[in-house]
Amino acid sequence: MRFASIRIIARDIKTQVSFYEKITEVKAEWLAPVFAEIVTQGATLAIGAAETVALFKEGSAEPCANRSVIIEFEVEDVEKEFARLKNEVEVVHEPKMMPWGNQAAQLRDPEGTIVSLYTPVTEAAKKRFSSR
């Protein structure tokens, strides 16, 4: 099995796509007016408009309701990325060292999902991520 993507259901898809294009510095691929993908080296972030939920099962997903998932992006230099973004997006916390060896900063997307940018710092963290 191959992990393919995470999909966010958005109330305002254009604003969400613009936010993630800014974060990743990757231009979205619009596959339909209600669906876009941001394809990165490690995974794909899919963004669907709220009306796409009805294609699966009405009410099965809801925009602006996430409080349990953090979308993470490994970056070369979290301090540099944080400096680039801190005045343009909502900051949850500035870069700080995590007990598992990553330096991480957290931001919030326009519809409330937390986005973490991290850099492996300790030797154990670097080793863990280099083997993927």
What H or E segment, with its residue span, contains residue 29?
Answer: strand 29-32
**What are the tokens at 87?**
């005045």
Residue owning tokens 């979290």: 78
In the predicted structure, residue 131 carries a pLDDT above the cut 80: no
The mean pLDDT value of the chain amounts to 95
Helix (H, G, I), strand (E, B) or coil at 116: strand
Q: How far is CA 11 from the centre of its chain?
A: 16
pTM for the model stands at 0.93
Q: How many angstroms separate the Cα of 78 from the Cα of each of 1, 11, 86, 102?
A: 30, 29, 11, 10
pLDDT digits (tens, 9 = 90+) for 37-86: 999 988 999 999 999 999 999 889 999 999 899 999 999 999 999 999 99
Residue 96, strand partner residues: 104
Give CA–CA dist 89/130, Å, rounded: 29
Task: Provide the percentage of residues in the chain whose pLDDT is more than 70.
Answer: 98
Give CA–CA dist 46/84, Å, rounded: 24
Domains and CATH numbers, the chain: 1-64 (3.30.720.120), 66-132 (3.10.180.10)
Q: Are the beta carbons of 105 and 117 closer than 8 angstroms?
A: yes
